[in-house]
């Protein structure tokens, strides 16, 4: 990988850390530049500081909202909302902010989080969290009824440079994620045929199609593909059902190992795994305790860029919050600490009528059952809504409305990018760079279109 993100586990010198969390980002950057000139600096710390420079440049972008504006945004949805309520939410850890030159600035998606996980606020905003039977519950019921359910999907994925960021005459390299073979993913066909595109091998852990083109005028890059997603139902309350996905990739040494900086067996994570497991020794029951922790005690929240987080699994375990990827990392780390093989899977979630968005989940391995699925985000949402049937389903199972784009975390593209990725850990939207730099998330974007999504025999 281009950058050594694992070096972040070295931590920061105290003076740089103080400047960073006081929001003196220029001061922190100056301290880093001065430290990098010190010949006494160990190489591991030098690498950590190089990565921190990238974080310091990205971090303030995710926190643009001052207090008065944040309160006004809530009042737009909840007119009788008060400053006292805002302060109470902050004390309860429900408002994400940083200091910028000593003043609080709030996360750009703080309001979406408030309305997603707080039933009282959601109801006052006219968007109650309680729900009746849904299409998702219907497809889960079909999975259980049939024991195996297959959906065929056809999808278009478009990546483009925003017009105000486009530079005529530049050579642009565009990576668009495409599906890769997995236990549940079959019959993958790339429908786009372009002699100039580079298609990554099927065994690439984060698979993409790459375009490289000198552009006089801005244009959109599109890939279309189709596949079948075939999921099987496992009732984990019943013993002796055998291996669920016999064609799944085998367990590797990496599936029980650390992967710095986000999957680390820190003293805290070891202590937490011991506390949650208690006297239980059966791996399936231990994994279930980890799932219960990640779904009932870790609350979903929209997250800032993963690039700006030093250790995602411990972030969830300490702050008791995180999005789908951070929750998945927490579950994976707890499992690996306990000796249970676990690995990452991510891509896109689809739901009728033709909704599509980013999503991450996990897999864990149980002897005699093989690889099973675990979706802490969907599970946590179900638990908050009182849908215990759905909560239990997502420990062991998935519905077939998924597109697998990544089989592992923190992996390179083929061909690799020359410059820092928007997300160096996961891959769902796409990445764009010129010869001189990588484009930021605000300079490029993506669109998905679900052309077809249907159940098949």
Of the chain, the percentage scoring pLDDT greater than 70 comes to 98
Q: Is the pTM of this model over 0.85?
A: yes
> Across all residues in the chain, what is the average pLDDT?
95
Q: What confidence score (pLDDT) does residue 337 get?
A: 98
Confidence of residue 133 (pLDDT cuts 50, 70, 90): low
Taking only the tens place, the pLDDT of each residue in 273-310 is: 999 999 999 999 999 999 999 999 999 999 999 999 99
Cα distance between residue 376 and residue 382, in whole Å: 10
Of the chain, the percentage scoring pLDDT greater than 90 comes to 93
Taking only the tens place, the pLDDT of each residue in 396-412 is: 999 999 999 999 999 99
Q: Which two tokens stand for residue 344?
A: 């990452």
Taking only the tens place, the pLDDT of each residue in 187-220 is: 999 999 888 899 999 999 999 999 999 999 999 9
Taking only the tens place, the pLDDT of each residue in 66-89 is: 999 999 999 999 999 999 999 999
Q: What confidence score (pLDDT) does residue 353 get?
A: 56
Cα distance between residue 239 and residue 245, in whole Å: 16
Q: What confidence score (pLDDT) does residue 130 get?
A: 66
Q: What confidence score (pLDDT) does residue 134 get?
A: 84
pLDDT at 361 over 90: yes
Q: What confidence score (pLDDT) does residue 457 get?
A: 87
Q: Label the pairing between strands 198-199 and 208-214.
A: antiparallel
């Amino acid at each position: 990988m281009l950058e050594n993100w694992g070096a972040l586990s070295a931590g920061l010198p105290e003076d740089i850390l103080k400047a960073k969390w006081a929001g003196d980002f220029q001061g922190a950057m100056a301290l880093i530049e001065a430290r990098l000139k010190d010949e006494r600096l160990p190489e591991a710390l030098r690498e950590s500081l190089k990565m921190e420079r990238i974080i310091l440049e990205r971090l303030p972008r995710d926190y643009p909202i001052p207090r008065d504006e944040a309160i006004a945004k809530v009042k737009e949805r909840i007119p009788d909302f008060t400053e006292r309520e805002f302060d109470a939410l902050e004390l309860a850890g429900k408002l994400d902010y940083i200091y910028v030159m000593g003043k609080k600035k709030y996360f750009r998606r703080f309001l979406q989080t408030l309305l997603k996980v707080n039933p009282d606020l959601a109801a006052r905003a006219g968007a109650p969290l309680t729900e009746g039977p849904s299409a998702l519950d219907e497809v889960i019921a079909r999975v259980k009824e049939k024991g195996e359910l297959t959906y065929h999907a056809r999808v278009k994925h478009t990546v483009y440079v925003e017009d105000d960021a486009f530079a005529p005459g530049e050579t642009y390299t565009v990576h668009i994620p495409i599906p890769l073979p997995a236990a549940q993913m079959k019959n993958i066909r790339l429908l786009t045929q372009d002699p100039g595109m580079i298609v990554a091998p099927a065994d690439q852990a984060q698979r993409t199609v790459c375009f490289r083109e000198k552009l006089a005028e801005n244009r959109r890059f599109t890939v279309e593909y189709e596949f079948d997603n075939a999921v099987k139902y496992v009732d984990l309350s019943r013993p002796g059902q055998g291996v669920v996905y016999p064609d799944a990739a085998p367990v590797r040494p990496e599936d029980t190992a650390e992967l710095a900086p986000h999957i680390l067996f820190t003293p805290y994570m070891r202590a937490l795994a011991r506390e949650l497991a208690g006297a239980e020794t059966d791996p399936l029951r231990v994994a279930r305790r980890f799932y219960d922790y990640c779904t009932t005690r870790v609350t979903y929240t929209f997250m800032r860029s993963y690039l700006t987080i030093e250790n995602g699994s411990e972030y969830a375990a300490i702050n008791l919050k995180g999005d789908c990827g951070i929750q998945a990392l927490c579950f994976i780390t707890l499992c690996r600490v306990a000796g249970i093989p676990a690995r990452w899977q991510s891509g896109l979630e689809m739901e009728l009528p033709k909704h599509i968005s980013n999503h991450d989940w996990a897999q864990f391995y149980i002897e005699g059952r093989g690889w099973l699925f675990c979706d802490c985000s969907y599970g946590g949402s179900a638990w908050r809504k009182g849908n215990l049937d759905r909560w239990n389903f997502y420990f062991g199972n998935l519905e077939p409305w998924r597109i697998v784009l990544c089989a592992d975390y923190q992996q390179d593209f083929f061909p690799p990018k020359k410059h820092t990725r928007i997300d160096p850990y996961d891959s769902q939207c796409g990445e764009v760079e010129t010869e001189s730099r990588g484009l930021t998330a605000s300079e490029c974007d993506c669109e998905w279109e679900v052309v077809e999504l249907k159940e098949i025999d």
